[in-house]
């Protein structure tokens, strides 16, 4: 088998350039918020995470609990100040495992009151200082596909309300969507991204929040520029940085 070399530093600077170009195409209402780049390292070995970190990347995303635990616990990764994003479906019986991960920075996939409560209850056992809240995002199933997780768009604001009012150990960061795969931005603004924006409107109105207080996590390798033009503040990019993944089994 031929081993393909991956030029992580080159790929990172390519993606960062694309991000800043996309920022300059945004309407001025988005201000100068620079979207956060999350390098999605699922299925990729620890050495690529290390290469990316050493090339200046701090935020990484994983969506399988065991893989996150293994990678985050790798001795050379532990030495680095990585900020982990959990971006996969989270079952309540796995909450302790995810919260025990050193440097867990955000759980992007909170999709029910029960999961929020479970995270809130468990976090004090794991945090390193008393006033350190766990960042969370609420995942919204904007494409309304059965197999996708996330709360219904119409439920998002009551879930956020639950987090703000009842989960004092959690810090609400924003809302996240995966969206339907394969949408062609040439057909116009991605309806999933528009739907997430609409969700934010409703959340802000119902809970009297400012737009700046509610991040939008949307956009992946094929559409992060498009997502940024529509207001994304957090893009999750995997294959464009680390190379294609083997097809899902
Ligand atoms: C895999 C994954 C990504 C990254 O996908 P790419 O197409 O490789 O950029 C982003 N978000 C989530 C939730 C994922 O599971």
User: What distance in Å separates the CA atoms of residue 127 and residue 173, rounded to the nearest whole number?
Assistant: 18
Atom of ligand 1 nearest to the CA of 38: 10
With pLDDT > 70 as the criterion, what percentage of the chain qualifies?
98
- Higher pLDDT, residue 23 or 249: 23
Give the distance (Å) from ligand 1 centre to CA of residue 62.
Answer: 9
Mean pLDDT to the nearest integer, 126-132: 89
The string of pLDDT tens digits covering residues 222-232 is 999 999 999 99
| Atom 12 (ligand 1) nearest CA | 87
Q: Is the CB of 36 under 6 A from ligand 1?
A: no
Determine the pLDDT at residue 152.
96
Give the distance (Å) from ligand 1 centre to CA of residue 95.
Answer: 21
Helix or strand run (H / E) with residue 176: strand 170-176
Give the distance (Å) from ligand 1 centre to CA of residue 157.
Answer: 25
The string of pLDDT tens digits covering residues 154-198 is 999 999 999 999 999 999 999 999 988 889 888 999 999 999 999
User: What distance in Å separates the CA atoms of residue 119 and residue 134, rounded to the nearest whole number?
Assistant: 8
């Amino acid at each position: 088998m031929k081993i393909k070399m991956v030029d992580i530093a080159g790929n990172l600077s390519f993606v960062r350039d694309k991000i800043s170009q996309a920022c300059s195409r945004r309407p001025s209402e988005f201000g100068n918020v620079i979207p956060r780049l999350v390098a999605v390292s699922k299925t990729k070995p620890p050495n690529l995470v290390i290469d990316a970190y050493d090339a200046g990347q701090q935020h990484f995303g994983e969506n399988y609990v065991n893989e996150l635990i293994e990678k985050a616990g790798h001795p050379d990764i532990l030495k680095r100040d990585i900020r982990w994003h959990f971006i996969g479906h989270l079952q309540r019986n796995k909450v302790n495992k995810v919260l025990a991960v050193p440097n867990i920075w955000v759980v992007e996939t909170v999709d029910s009151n029960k999961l929020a409560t479970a995270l809130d209850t468990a976090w004090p056992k794991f945090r390193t200082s008393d006033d350190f809240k766990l960042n969370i995002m609420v995942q919204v199933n904007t494409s309304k596909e059965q197999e996708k997780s996330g709360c219904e768009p119409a439920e998002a604001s009551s879930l956020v309300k639950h987090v703000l009012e009842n989960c004092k150990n959690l810090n609400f960061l924003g809302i996240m969507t995966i969206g339907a795969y394969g949408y062609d931005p040439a057909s116009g603004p991605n309806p999933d991204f528009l739907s997430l924006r609409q969700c934010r409107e409703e959340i802000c109105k119902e809970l009297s929040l400012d737009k700046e207080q509610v991040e939008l996590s949307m956009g992946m390798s094929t559409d992060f520029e498009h997502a940024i033009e529509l207001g994304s503040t957090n893009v999750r990019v995997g294959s464009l940085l680390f190379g294609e993944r083997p097809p899902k089994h």
